[in-house]
Amino acid sequence: MEEIRAETPIVAEKAAAQQSWAAWFGTDAAIRWVYLIFGFFAIVLIMTLLQFSTQAICCGDWDGYYHIRWSQLLWESFKSGHWLPEFVWLPLTVLSPQDYADHHFLFHLLQIPFLWFFEPVMAAKVAAIFYGSLAIFSAYWLMFRYQVDYLLVWLAALLTCASSFLFRINMAKAPPLTIIISIIGIYLLFERKYVWLLPLMFVFVWTYSLFPLLIFAAFFWTMIIAWNERRFEWRPLAYTLGGMISGNIINPYFPQNLYLFWEHFMTKVKVGSDFAVSVGGEWYPYSGQELLMNFPIALIAMLIGYILFAPKNGKLPEKSTFFLMFVTVLLVAQFRSKRFAEYFPPFAVLFAAFSWKDFFTPLAAQLPEDFRRGLENYLDVDKKSEKQNVHGILKQVAVWVIGLFLAAWLFYNLNGINVGSFQETGLIATLQGNEANDKYKNATDWAKANIPEGERIFNCNWDDFPKLFFFDTKHTYVYGLDPNNLNSKNPELSKLIPDITSGKIAEAAPIIREKFGSRYIFSDAKENEDMVAKCLESGWCEMAYQDDEAIFLKIRDTKGTSPSEADDAPPTAEEQKQLDEEEANAAQNNANDNNDEEN
């Protein structure tokens, strides 16, 4: 009997716990957790689908090959007991061995664990899925954390905010970490946990050169607090500035990291400036048509945010006001450069979501807590009745319509559409049409076997460097990653390259050898055709290697005969002897054939 009595409270406690869990699963909080988990897997699924739509590192940008190869070299150096390897592959640029600074340093470290389990290309692809998914999920989590309604609708908005966003967030590059760190910083501001901004900013500086974004965030938050509370809240600015200074000074590349940041700022960030040389397409602005075609959901989200934003009782709604300021800066930057397609769209959706939440929050819910408690019963009744009226039904219908539209738009972005004469290619088909993962591998294998180690190769196009570097680290190159890297260090050489590669200079080979220090020229097989033809025609070059993808020319020490001159030149004595023998044999064969016919 005593044992039964002892077990009774335990059984009762278990039963109560089970009832409690059962009751919790029927609550709004449980449903929101289901939405959160579903959103995580949906994001990972879409990122995986896009990344593995191509064998190459997604998505049409080769910088990922540079990043994963450098991560591999870092890991090999660490394993052998050494510190940072010397970057020797672009000696004529601001990334020369004495000037090099890795402004993606922490990103490169964070790619290393994936190299423990996968070969480099697969490691880059899995890392891109991991960090890209976390970036989108962090924005989704922020809406979950602050009780934004209709989570699945906002999830669909995040996944459809811009086709360019899905492309760029899946590249094996650092911007996803920028989004993650920015979201963490915004959360710390909203929670007023300012002291943690210092280590966060330190990490940001080591991760990517867009760390000033967190300074803007802290400044906007300080302005909001100053308006609402009539006081200067100095801590957000102080801690972010402290993290920025310490992260730049306590840095493995100090002081070169400061020089590189300043060079990037002067060549890319200056308002109204034209680029000194032609740079990658991502640094140029979208046209009006491109903006409307690529960012319809993000632009609509911005419009919704602006329309619904409204101060109440003379005070600014803190969170929606913050996103209004923050996203407006990103929108202006988007007009300046396509490079901000990773940042503007998801934050535009956050702006719309928080403006929606603040606009539809009942005024009574914003009253002081003691006063609000006295109205709880009234508010509960009001809430129940609201769900039953026509307004509530129409609201639910509108949400379903918007959700279905966004789901259809996501399908359209991924798969395109083919209806009658109207055809539009989706992201998946576009990625499937990307260039092969092993492009240039045969050419670089030949180079490693036949060109002396340490030779500087004149690569005709700067954007070929990541692939060349990935496959061949035995040789150095003229320029890469960004044409401004050469222009900032050697502007005279930079100005020569367009004339050389376009074929405007008839005898370019001696200039390449003397001014660039190169005895070998690399070109894509389908580019720089005039230059290749003129180099061969001049007699200064010979074809060293050629396939369907690439060409290597070797620059001769002295000018020789061109292929056409060699064809027109009289035969040598040995060649003439061979020709005479061939003619004699042909004549003998003809005579034998005639005899056979007579017989």
* pLDDT tens digit sequence for 355-384: 999 887 754 444 455 544 554 444 454 555
User: Is the pLDDT assigned to residue 9 strictly greater than 70?
Assistant: no
Measured at the CA of 441, the angle between CA 439 and CA 444, to 5 degrees, comes to: 125
Instruction: Specify the residue for token string 């089970």.
Output: 18
Buried b (16+ CB within 10 A) or exposed e, 7-32: eeeeeeeeeeeeeeeeeeeeeeeeee
Which residues are CB-contacts of 552 (< 8 A; sequence separation ≥ 6)?
A: 443, 446, 447, 451, 520, 521, 522, 543, 544, 545, 546
486, 515 contact by CB (below 8 A)? no
Q: What percent of the chain has pLDDT over 90?
A: 57
Question: With bands split at pLDDT 50, 70 and 90, how would you rate the model's confidence at 594?
Answer: low
CB atoms within 10 A of CB 239: 21
Residues whose CB is less than 8 angstroms from the CB of residue 400 and which lie 6 or more positions away in sequence, other chains included:
none
CA-based end-to-end distance of the chain: 128
Q: Which of 21-35, 300-314, 425-439 comes out lowest in average pLDDT? A: 21-35
CB atoms within 10 A of CB 237: 17
Average pLDDT value for residue range 459-487: 94
H helix intervals, 80-211:
105-115, 120-145, 151-160, 163-169, 175-191, 197-207
In 3-state terms, the chain is what percent helix, strand and coil (to 5)?
65, 5, 25
pLDDT of residue 367: 46
Alpha-carbon span 204 to 593, nearest angstrom: 86
| 242-256, 295-309, 354-368, 546-560, range with the lowest pLDDT | 354-368
Euclidean distance between CA atoms 332 and 346, whole angstroms: 15
pLDDT score at 157: 94
155, 161, 167, 169 alpha-carbon torsion, rounded to 10°: -60
pLDDT per position as a tens digit, 479-513: 999 888 998 899 999 999 999 999 898 889 999 99
Residue 259, judged by CB atoms within 10 A of its CB (0-12, 13-18, 19+), counts as middle
Closest by CA to 270, choosing from 200, 337, 205, 187, is 337
> Do the beta carbons of residue 267 and residue 275 sit within 8 Å?
yes
C-alpha span between 334 and 221 (Å, rounded): 22
Least confident of 21-25, 37-41, 270-274, 330-334: 270-274
Query: 363: which DSSP letter?
Result: G
Helix axes 151-160, 390-415, angle to 10 degrees: 30
462: three-class secondary structure by DSSP = helix
Reported as a pLDDT band with limits 50, 70 and 90, residue 25 is low
554: β partners: 520, 542
Model confidence at 29, pLDDT cuts 50, 70, 90, reads: confident
**Mean pLDDT lowest among 92-96, 340-344, 419-423:** 419-423
